[in-house]
Amino acid sequence: MYDVIIVGSGVMGMSIARELSQNNLNVAVIDRDVAGKHASYKAGGMLGAQNEFTSYSPLYRLAREAQTRFEGLSESLKQEVGVDIEYKQTGLIKLAAQDSDNDFVEKQYHFLHQYNPSVELLSSQNLSLATHGEVDTRGLSAALIPDDHQINANKYTKALLKSLNKRDIHRWYQTEALNIESISNGYQVVTNRGCLTTEKVIVAGGAWSADLIEEPSLKRQVTGVKGEVLLVENKSLKLDTTIFMTNGCYIVPKSKHRYLIGATSLNNDYSVGVSEAGKQWLFHQACAKVPGLQDSKMIKHWSGIRPYTLNEQPIMDEIQSGLFIITGHYRNGILLSPLIGELMSEWLVNDSRPEVLENFIYKRGELNEVCD
């Protein structure tokens, strides 16, 4: 019998398992596919602790705290497993996609500047300087967020997996959890390969998390949002700061002269692959603001399903004694993962919810439902 079974091995599930492994607990991780091959593996890797926010909230507080973990985490993973997750302190520029979005960018700047004086509203001249003249401004408002950095999400998931492989954690991959049943001393997780028993269960299955828990309101509060992404190569472009537009399109400079262009947002779409319409929209939006991308070489494209809740407010709660759910992190899963790993480990070890998680309960009422 295990102490803890974690269903789902994206960055959230693996981060929790990694932290729990330091507390002499018998931990198992179940995933229906290969670990970390879904939304985590396919993310842009932006650590946008400020880019996503326009007002103070418990989630903003968590995001800013999580952001501080990555410099140290990058070094510890490199030392432990020899993988460089490519933590880059290149900052982010929030850019109005059109004139009518200027007020939004300026309002966001005023909010962020209250808590971080280094956030700067850029003049057209300073925007040009910050982007080596690569961004076509045309009177659009822009704000520089200098400490919204980035990592390589692909390498981060691989590093976490290697870390788990070096620890005393049982791994059940290509194993689908079919049901979770309450038993006298804990839970039985029914899988396509047999049954596993455990004292506690954490469901961290992304957009599919609510499917395993017999709680109807959860299924109406979580949905999947498909995001499509392009990776291009351009050896002549001189852009080294992430550009994030108000219409959701972003351009993230990566190593080897490559640029990640994302992301569409297709609600309640669980399909696999990238549509032609999605590719065209992404490339058109990116080239409209960074004309130098027009001559890029297409390397590859992919899609992932992000777990979404109303107001992008994640759910991190104990549904019943010993049964936990972690979902709804939407575009902040990579960013929040190391801190959530710490907090969930603390919760399970001390049998007490950390104060900073008190606002992320699942009981939110009908006004928070996103599905019919």
Clarify whether residues 140 and 259 are in a common domain. yes
User: Could you tell me the pLDDT band of residue 369, with boundaries at 50, 70 and 90?
Assistant: low
For residues 207 and 25, the answer to whether their CB atoms sit within 8 Å is no
DSSP class of residue 33 equals S
Tell me the average pLDDT across 28-47: 72
Measured between alpha carbons, how far is 167 from 158 in angstroms, rounded to an integer? Answer: 15
Model confidence, pTM: 0.93
Lowest mean pLDDT among 42-56, 265-279, 310-324, 344-358: 42-56
Strand partners, 331: none
Same domain assignment for residues 165 and 301 = no
The mean per-residue pLDDT over the stretch 171-185 comes to: 93
Same domain, residue pair 120 and 241:
yes
Residue ending a domain, among 257, 287, 308, is 308
Cβ density class 181-199: b for 16+ within 10 Å, e for less: eeeeebbbbbbeeeebebb
Does residue 37 register a pLDDT over 50?
A: no
Lowest mean pLDDT among 166-170, 216-220, 229-233: 216-220
Q: Both 117 and 127 in a single domain?
A: yes
SS3 for 234-291, per residue?
CCCCCCCCEEEECCCCEEEECCCCEEEEECCCEECCCCCCCCHHHHHHHHHHHHHHCH
List the domain range (segments joined by +) for residue 232: 92-146+223-308
Does residue 65 belong to any structural domain of this protein?
Answer: no
d(CA 332, CA 11): 11
217/334 same-domain check: yes
Are 216 and 243 contained in the same domain? no
Q: What angle do CA 273, 275, 278 make, to 5 degrees?
A: 120
pLDDT (mean) for 195-201? 97
Type of residue numbered 226:
K
Pair 262, 247 in one domain:
yes
Structure-token pair, residue 178: 């079919």
Average pLDDT over residues 42-63: 91
Using the predicted structure, report yes or no on whether residue 18 has a pLDDT greater than 70.
yes
Calpha distance 351→200 (Å, rounded): 11
Domain shared by 229 and 332, yes or no: no
Q: How far apart are CA 129 and CA 368, in angstroms?
A: 43
- Residues 326, 196 share a domain: yes
Query: Residue 194: inside a domain, yes or no?
Result: yes
pLDDT tens, residue by residue, 130-139: 999 999 877 8
Q: With a cut of 70, say whether residue 1 has pLDDT above it.
A: yes
pLDDT at 36: 41
Q: How far is CA 201 from the centre of its chain?
A: 22
Count other Cβ atoms within 10 Å, centred on residue 100: 9
Amino acid identity of residue 342, one-letter, is: E
Q: pLDDT tens digits for 274-311? A: 999 999 999 999 999 999 999 999 999 999 999 999 88
Mean per-residue pLDDT for 244-268?
A: 95
Is residue 130 in a domain? yes
- Number of alpha carbons in the 13 Å side-chain half-sphere of residue 149: 17
User: Is the predicted pLDDT of residue 372 greater than 60, yes or no?
Assistant: no
CA-wise closest residue to 202 among 192, 215, 213, 214: 213
Provide the 3-class DSSP secondary structure of residue 169. strand
Q: Spell 102-134 as b/e; 16+ CB within 10 A means b.
A: eeebeebbebbeeebeebbbbeeeebeebbeeb
Alpha carbon distance 227, 278 (integer Å) = 9
Task: Please give the full DSSP string across 180-222, using - where no structure is assigned.
Answer: EEEETTEEEEEETTEEEEEEEEEE--GGGGGGGS--HHHHHH-
Instruction: Answer yes or no: do 250 and 364 share one domain.
Output: no
- How many domains is the chain partitioned into structurally? 2
CATH number for the domain that contains residue 249: 3.30.9.10
Q: What is the pLDDT of residue 35?
A: 47
User: What is the chain's percent helix, strand, coil content, to nearest 5?
Assistant: 35, 25, 35
Same domain, 168 and 285: no
Respond yes or no on whether the N-terminal peptide bond of residue 263 is cis (omega within 30° of 0): yes
Pick from 8, 107, 119, 1: nearest CA to 344: 8
Mean pLDDT calculated for residue range 330-341? 96
What's residue 368's pLDDT? Answer: 58
pLDDT band at residue 40 under the 50/70/90 scheme:
low
pLDDT band at 38 (very low <50, low <70, confident <90, very high): low
Q: For position 149, what pLDDT does the model report? A: 94
User: For residue 143, which of 267, 49, 50 has the smallest C-alpha distance?
Assistant: 50
**pLDDT (0 to 100) of residue 131:** 95
Proportion of the chain above pLDDT 90, given as a percent: 86
Mean pLDDT of the chain: 93
Q: Could you report the per-residue pLDDT of 77-86, keeping only the tens digit for each? A: 999 999 999 9
